[in-house]
Chains A and B, each alone.
Chain A
Amino acid sequence: MNQHPGILGKKLGMTQFFDEKGEVVRCTVVHAGCVVVAKRTQEKDGYSALVLGLGERKEKHTNKPLAGIYKKAGQTPKRLLKEIRLPAEEVAKYEVGEKVAVDKVFKVGQFVDAQGRTRGRGFTGVMRRWSFAGGVGSHGTHEYFRHGGSIGTNMTPGRTLPGLKMPGHYGDETVTILNLKIAKLIPEDDLVLVEGGIPGAKNTIITLRGAVKKRGGVKA
């Protein structure tokens, strides 16, 4: 499990800037600005974590049990709550009600994993969904251009094997991109610029955490 510190944020879009060598860095802009709403501790909950809140929610849309959580933290109701599992000593660094500063969590040049929800594409054919080649355009082909071809053998096993790639719903799934580099941090505006693309459309909620699988990268 990812035990590295992280933030919740909103994807604003992509841009580029020139680094000190004059080379272009293409990056995704994530607006962080999440707040610590509660803490989970080993003694009380059996595990340690930070509960982060992001965005704003109207008072009238907040039910009473939820409102209680925010009242306890002395916070306005948030649009989203998410727990981030962290070791106890990391949790101790943050106070309830504290806005998580991006430069406290990340360093420039550090590798992170970015999780977002991809754009929903609806019911999609195999050529787009699984990059199948489709059929040939000529040689007498009739109404068989964007099909997937055969889906199995005849008598043995006499059925289509489970998990076969077929048309169906594509997108709107949670995807994590590993080992993206932090290109720039702008603490005044709570912005994190991550090199490369992040799944999801603009305004998608993004979870950024220290990279789990990167070796030799800058540790937080």
Chain B
Amino acid sequence: MITQPVIAKLEQSQLRSDLPEFRVGDTVRVHYKIVEGEKERVQVFQGIVLKRHRAGVRSTFTVRKVSFGIGVERIFLQHSPRIDKVEVVSKGVVRRGRLFYLRELAGKAARVRDEKDQ
């Protein structure tokens, strides 16, 4: 689909380019700004990137972690100003674009090979 040029221009100004390059399978730490009443604080969410949805301003990425034995997934809007920063903890080696199979796995089986171990 060709984006209408005027809309493309509007969306261009919304994009942020300060996030590091990361891919599906990487382990990332997402620093997310949370507003509680008056105060604003930063919450960190660390996990494996399951999916990246690349769609201009509407781009999102899904991060999965296992918290107290329960799998938690969060979908972040990639260009949201609420994202303080994203750190890439480790690069993973995966053979597909969507890691939904990790949901079925637990413990040792749910790991992703690290790039450094190659």
B4 on the interface (CB 8 Å rule)?
Answer: yes
Give the interface SS of chain A, mostly helix, strand, loop or mixed.
Answer: strand
- Chain A nearest Cβ from B32, distance in angstroms: 10
In the bound complex, do residue B7 and residue A17 qualify as a contact, i.e. CB atoms below 8 Å apart?
Answer: no
Give the interface SS of chain B, mostly helix, strand, loop or mixed.
Answer: mixed
- List which B41-58 residues lie within 8 A (CB) of chain A: 57-58
Given A22-B81, A22-B82: A16 and B6 interface contact (C-beta under 8 Å): no
A15 on the interface (CB 8 Å rule)?
Answer: yes
A31 on the interface (CB 8 Å rule)?
Answer: yes
B10 on the interface (CB 8 Å rule)?
Answer: yes
- Measured CB to CB, the residues of B under 8 A from A are 3-4, 6-7, 10-11, 14, 33, 35, 57-58, 77, 79-82
Q: Return 27 A-B CB contacts under 8 Å, by A number.
A: A12-B4, A12-B6, A12-B7, A13-B3, A13-B7, A14-B7, A15-B7, A15-B11, A15-B57, A16-B57, A17-B10, A17-B11, A17-B57, A18-B79, A18-B81, A22-B80, A22-B81, A22-B82, A29-B4, A29-B6, A29-B7, A29-B10, A186-B10, A189-B6, A191-B6, A191-B10, A202-B4
